[in-house]
Amino acid sequence: MSDEVWKRDEVESPCVKLCQIHPQERLCIGCLRTMEEIGAWSRLSPEQRREIMNELPARAPRLQQRRGGRAARRES
């Protein structure tokens, strides 16, 4: 029996099991997807999944922590 039967040409989920939605950016801090993208993932075509996967790296800077309080006011 060929192993080809068990291979599927699907885009895997970017989920890293660190599921928490950033309150301001509305992105998962683990995989960087929106709640809508996460909810629709199983129904998306491989092309739609690839498109989202290609966008994820550009979203990461949106979640960088900003320094607050006294440390943020110090002059460099």
Question: Is residue 2 in some structural domain?
Answer: no
* pLDDT, average across residues 3-29: 81
Give 28: exposed, middle or buried? Use CB within 10 Å, 0-12, 13-18, 19+: buried
- Alpha-carbon distance 42 to 26, whole Å? 20
Question: Is residue 7 in some structural domain?
Answer: no
Indicate the pLDDT class of residue 76, thresholds 50, 70 and 90: very low
Kindly give the residue spans of alpha helices, DSSP state H, lying in the chain: 35-40, 46-59, 69-73
Look at residues 37, 26, 38 and name the one whose alpha carbon lies nearest to residue 62.
26
Residue range 29-70, pLDDT digits in tens: 999 999 999 999 999 999 999 999 999 999 999 987 655 555
Token code pair at residue 52: 């989202």
* pLDDT, average across residues 14-23: 92
Question: Is residue 52 in some structural domain?
Answer: yes
Question: Which residue range(s) make up the domain with 27?
Answer: 15-61
More confident residue, 25 or 64: 25
